[in-house]
Structure 1
Amino acid sequence: NHAVPIPGRTHFQRAMPSSVGLWAGAFAESLLDDIQLLQGTFRLIDQCPLGSAASYGVSIPIDRQYCTDLLGFNAVQNNVLYANNSRGKFEAAVLHALVQIMNDLSKATTDIIIFSAPEFGYFVLPEKFCPGSSLMPQKRNPCPLEIIRAKSAVLQGLLFQNLEIVRALPSGYNRDFQETKRPVMQGLEITGMSLRVFFQILSELQVDKEVCIDAFTPELFATDQVLKLTSSGVPFRDAYKQVAKNPENVSENDPVANILSKKHLGATGNLGLSISNAKIQDAQHWVDLEQKKWVDVLENLRV
């Protein structure tokens, strides 16, 4: 369905030709950026705090690097006071990355809810994900998508809860820190569950190609007409004014040909999916390496 045209919108008003592929690809790239945020967060927190004790080290000759290597951390968290001061900061970094994922899911679910409504009809949701109304027998509601959207707000609340807990603490260990763990655990659980449900729905989402094409009206091609006139030598302002007088009279009316004609990188006719696929492979390779590293550490500790 990547080449199925749909009206693109700005300010939620009909704007220019778009496609299902461009829409879906935008979220794929955004989630790939979220993976980079997660990787950056992982690198930040991949430090071993052991040996910092209550915030000021100990008077026995411990080898902190040995503990770090044995447990598979990337580095020692050097300053023993900062090892405690960073509590809450590292949790917030994790939650911030999770918030970005949930914000992407929130936007995607909103689009799907709108585009699957009868007034649009571009998408058809699987019935098993659309329970009925407790009162209105004709209703089928996109409840799982709505819950995912609401959970994105819950994640933001968890992030700010964590930030507020540590905002005004003095240096050194404080018992307040124990309250920073629950938001992280909840955030991980909510995000993982939301991703699983979202991709299950997405895998069964249907696209009504005929409805998508029928949704096109002449004014959606107005900008392309302006650019066509400009390419032929008409000054942009003149071309803009000329088309603006009667945008409904634009001659172009083939949405499929229109989206396929835009060949520059990232446009509807050249989505650059190979770039995204390469990023996916890189991310999977990174996950595989970290998982193997973790398994090896556990095996060594059992010896």
Structure 2
Amino acid sequence: MAELLWQKPGVKVDDRIQQFCAGDDVILDREFFLFDIDASRAHAQGLQQIGILDADELSGLEHELGVLAQDFRSGAFVLDGRYEDGHSAIEARLIERLGDAGRKIHTGRSRNDQVLVATRLWLRDRLATLAALCRETAQVALARAQAEASLPLPGYTHLQRAVVSSAGMWWAAWAEGFIDNAVRARQTLAWVDANPLGSAAGYGVNLPLAREHTTAALGFGRMQVSAAYAQLSRGKFEMAAIEALASALLDLRRLAWDLSLFTTAEFGFVALPAQYTTGSSIMPNKRNPDVIELMRASYSAAAAARTEIEQLLSLPSGYHRDLQFSKGAIFHAFGRGLGALELLPDLLRNLEWKPDAMRAALDPSMYATDLAVDLARDGLPFREAYRLAADPARWSQGDPAASLAARVSPGAAADLRLDALRQRLVELEA
């Protein structure tokens, strides 16, 4: 390992203790590395503005940071056990290439605000991806709701047959759900879009750092003003991002549950694209819906990450090394969660309904609610109408098309209000 940035003369570093403290930080920092480079470039520009660096030093630093980013992308530079973390790797590389100019790069900053700003940039990128995936999912669901508005589909409560519903209602529900998820992702992005760079270790420094410049250069919506709060917000902002992710994954879990049921022989309502299924290692007759089962399980990663970070935050103010463990939690949650959501739009585009099986599942009892409402509309008190409609002798095989056409309450099968949902999508894309 390269010489540690904080190593003091005469103090021997115990390798076992250092390994425990560093953990897998250097591996995890590969996620942040390009963002850390971007932040280092903005910080160097700010240092030049206040006279710590001259123009030539800044030019050399910007050039070498660009080369480092290119080398990292190509694999020519590997962030590995030679370094304590990504921050020290950047500094070591700049010192190696530029000497004293590289030694100046850390003026006015701490690894505390370095990791904070890299985390913010990373979260901003991931939340933008989350919003885009939710928006795409909503677009697919909305298009299919329009196309399949009158396709009958049994509606269930308590997993029991309840009323006649439609594929249009099923799709519209997911369309609105993922519109909400996209809105929440964008709102969370706006909330975490605050620049902590220049807060140093949480108490500022005796330099007039160009924090307004770094805020603008990195594209942040605002500067996080209080240096002390910048440290207090670590973990808090990550939890908010995970909660936005979890909102989408919670809907994905329920959608995947529907598809898990609908693809069984007992329901037989849906055929999945072949590439979304796998075979059994022993049973030649099997095609298993592994993809939707793993989609269903993805929420667990977000729930676990949120709990892990929440438990880390039982701390007084100021920085504490405990917070190092928050990185792995967010990487795991977003890695698994976005991986599942990336597969969802194409799955929804290509799944196929089996209309004959869907219609066959519509038994006479599922028209009883329609009957009760019709009697009430004709003037009978609803409780009396309910009692009469509960009598199986009054049931007959109804007409699903007529049942759906009569369901005129706003948001129901005959009035899906897809235009209102479409307008919300347009606003999201603006």
Compute the TM-score of the two structures, normalised by the length of structure 1: 0.89
**Aligned AA (1:175):** R
Partner of 2:408: 263
Partner of 2:3: none
Partner of 1:201: 347
Q: Is the 8 A contact 1:7 1:14 kept in 2?
A: yes
**Aligned AA (1:8):** G
- Tell me by how many angstroms 1:251 deviates: 4.0
**Equivalent residues in 2 for 1:57-68, closer than 5 Å:** 57-68=204-215
- Tell me by how many angstroms 1:252 deviates: 6.0
Q: Is the 8 A contact 2:302 2:334 kept in 1?
A: no
- Tell me by how many angstroms 1:276 deviates: 1.7
Partner of 2:174: 27
- Tell me by how many angstroms 1:282 deviates: 2.0
The answer as to 2:230 corresponding to 1:83 is: yes
CA distance in 2, matches of 1:43, 1:185: 20
**Equivalent residues in 2 for 1:182-193, closer than 5 Å:** 182-193=328-339
CA distance in 2, matches of 1:183, 1:249: 57
C-alpha distance after superposition, 1:157-202 (max 9, x if no partner): 1111111122x11211112222212222222222221112222222
List gaps (5 residues or longer) in structure 2.
1-147
Q: 1:110 aligns with which of 244, 253, 257?
A: 257
**Aligned AA (2:320):** N
RMSD: 1.5
Q: Is the 8 A contact 2:363 2:397 kept in 1?
A: no
C-alpha distance after superposition, 1:48-91 (max 9, x if no partner): 11221111111112242233223221111111111001000000
Partner of 1:250: 395
CA distance in 2, matches of 1:2, 1:143: 29
- Tell me by how many angstroms 1:127 deviates: 2.3
CA distance in 2, matches of 1:249, 1:212: 23
Partner of 1:172: 318
- Tell me by how many angstroms 1:2 deviates: 2.7
Counting aligned pairs with the same residue, the percent is 35
Q: Is the 8 A contact 1:218 1:249 kept in 2?
A: no
CA distance in 2, matches of 1:123, 1:94: 33
- Tell me by how many angstroms 1:269 deviates: 1.3
Partner of 1:290: none
List gaps (5 residues or longer) in structure 1.
286-303
Partner of 1:278: 423
- Tell me by how many angstroms 1:217 deviates: 0.9
Higher Cα radius of gyration: 2
C-alpha distance after superposition, 1:95-123 (max 9, x if no partner): 01111111111100110110111111111
CA distance in 2, matches of 1:31, 1:64: 36
Give the SS at the match of 2:367: helix
Q: After the TM superposition, which parts of structure 1 deviate over 6 Å for at least 4 consecutive aligned residues?
A: none
Compute the TM-score of the two structures, normalised by the length of structure 2: 0.63
